Amino acid sequence: MERILGSLVIVISALVLISCDKLSEEFEFALDDVVDEERSSTVDIELENAELIALGVLQSTLFTHLNSRLYDFLDASDLPEDAVNDGETYFVGCDVAGSAEYTFSRPSGEAHKAGDKISVEYTDCDEGEGLVHNGKLTGRYTEIKGLNDRFVEIDTDTCLANLQKELPGNVRIIDPVDENGDPLDGDEVRFKAVAGTLVIEVVQVTLDEDEVPVDDNDDNTYTVTNSFVIGAEETAILVNRRLRQSGEEEVMTSGDGGDQIYSVVDREGNKALCQGYQRTLNVSLSNFYSKKDELQHALNGSVTLFSGTEDLNRFTTEIRESTFSTTVQQGNLAEQFLMTDYTVTETFDTVTGSYNMVFDGDISSEAIFGTTSVSLLPSSPLLGNYSEDYPNSGILSILGRGLEQILITSTDLRLTIAVDFDGDSTGNGRSDSDEFINTSWSDLIDREFEFVDY
């Protein structure tokens, strides 16, 4: 979905009301103990190790998810047309060399259900431009929501039937036609609360002399072609079949030019998201590997995957609160990262190729952090395009001991790494950056650090 398509906000608050001063003092003492314990478990950020920490975090988060194919083939409809089908198994040749094998318990376009299974196995699958995949993914659907349980574009009647199943009680279907059986459609649908009822108006819009549709333009003419009264206790569905009226194929499209379906419950009208779905899977990863040029990533463990969309154009995908390992190899140097309670949320647009990513969770790596770890704090999403190697904007926040922090800010090919190596130095209770390192993506990846801890 909307892969959902968006923005994240985390609010952490505590309110303690204690009338007894002694109890209040004991509470504050205990809270200090907790804070000290938390601080002892996180890495000590220093100027000399800040770039190495930043590189390790970026390699195990951003680059791993940019290059991985975690969400690419969660159902058979995503496969290319030349996939060879043998029952539930499909075989696909890769662009340059190698192969990919996919297994789905449900064929493409069929209504999916919780319990459906998938598996993907890559064998030296070379996509060209230095990108190679190996390893295996097996998964099972645990939850499916939304009107589109087929994950492909559905028609108006399928959406109508699925919506009717979701609504409570007896549903009144309003699907108006004229004396010839042709649909009576309109350009807009409006809802008005009148004397304890809801009035639905289907409106035809005649544009001004320049044929320019402008909201609330006085030169446009608005004509109510149909009006329906929905009682206070009624549940209803209105179908506005604009495509059939115009002679086009009857498909509920995601844009404004297609058919429209509205539901009315408790005197509230809502447009149905006919192409929308949300799906969640439990997935096991076995050396699920991607190599981009000299950088390799391998994922192992169990994760929860989420994928959702409202219109089949803009998707939101997530690894959701999962614990697993990520092995990163650059040249002869290999480092393993443990991702704990880790979430990455990506929203991407299939038309423009743009994406944004937000990361949250804890990361430990003995090679970089020793026995400690870092925490990721959701901040400004990293924005980019899949046609480019790096994000062009956004901030990644890395938390260490106490209020020590590294802020990585991306601007096209450049990076600014703001380092707070001594926590709150001004007494305002917040992190304060002590040093700024101006570098580039290429220099950081090549480990051409300005400050090096030997």
Q: What is the pLDDT of residues 105-142, one digit of tens each?
A: 999 999 999 999 999 999 999 999 889 999 999 999 99
Q: Which residues are within 8 A (CB) of 417 and not within 5 positions of it... i.e. 6 or more apart?
A: 50, 51, 54, 406, 407, 408, 409, 436, 437, 439
Kindly calculate the radius of gyration of the chain based on its CA atoms and give it in whole angstroms: 27
Q: What is the pLDDT of residues 351-395, one digit of tens each?
A: 999 999 999 999 999 989 888 999 998 888 999 999 999 999 999
Among candidates 337, 170, 181, which has minimal Cα distance to 265?
170
Whole-angstrom Cα distance, residue 417 to residue 420? 10
CA distances from 62 to 183, 381, 413, 445 (A): 50, 11, 15, 12
Rounded to two decimals, the pTM is 0.83
Q: Given pLDDT bands bounded at 50, 70 and 90, which one contains residue 16?
A: very low
Decide if pLDDT at 290 tops 50: yes
Q: Given pLDDT bands bounded at 50, 70 and 90, which one contains residue 238?
A: very high
Q: What is the pLDDT of residues 247-260, one digit of tens each?
A: 555 555 545 568 89
Q: Residue 42: how many CA atoms within 13 Å on its side-chain side?
A: 23
Q: Which residues are within 8 A (CB) of 294 and not within 5 positions of it... i.e. 6 or more apart?
A: 330, 331
Whole-angstrom Cα distance, residue 380 to residue 374? 18
pLDDT at 149: 96
Instruction: Give the H or E element holding residue 235.
Output: strand 235-240
- Considering Cα of 419, then 420, then 426, then 430, what sign does the dihedral take? positive
pLDDT at 212: 57
CA distances from 170 to 193, 236, 271 (A): 21, 8, 19
- Residues 44-55: b if buried by 16+ CB within 10 A, e if exposed: ebebebbbbbbb
Q: Given pLDDT bands bounded at 50, 70 and 90, which one contains residue 217?
A: low
Q: Count other Cβ atoms within 10 Å, centred on residue 69.
A: 17
pLDDT at 31: 28
Which DSSP category does 381 fall into?
Answer: P
pLDDT at 223: 86
Whole-angstrom Cα distance, residue 332 to residue 288? 19
Q: Which residues are within 8 A (CB) of 277 and not within 5 positions of it... i.e. 6 or more apart?
A: 1, 144, 145, 146, 147, 148, 149, 151, 308, 309
With H, G, I as helix, E, B as strand and everything else as coil, classify residue 107. Answer: coil
Decide if pLDDT at 235 tops 60: yes
Q: Which residues are within 8 A (CB) of 222 and not within 5 positions of it... i.e. 6 or more apart?
A: 188, 203, 204, 205, 206
Decide if pLDDT at 15 tops 70: no
**Which tokens in the block code for residue 12?**
């952490």
Average pLDDT value for residue range 407-417 = 93
Decide if pLDDT at 24 tops 50: no
With H, G, I as helix, E, B as strand and everything else as coil, classify residue 311. Answer: coil
Measure the N-to-C terminal CA separation of the chain; round to a whole number of Å.
45
With H, G, I as helix, E, B as strand and everything else as coil, classify residue 431. Answer: coil
Average pLDDT value for residue range 411-419 = 92
Q: Given pLDDT bands bounded at 50, 70 and 90, which one contains residue 14?
A: very low
Average pLDDT value for residue range 271-294 = 95
Average pLDDT value for residue range 396-418 = 93
Which DSSP category does 393 fall into?
Answer: B
Whole-angstrom Cα distance, residue 124 to residue 85? 20
Q: Are 436 and 62 in contact (CB under 8 A)?
A: no
Whole-angstrom Cα distance, residue 175 to residue 250? 14
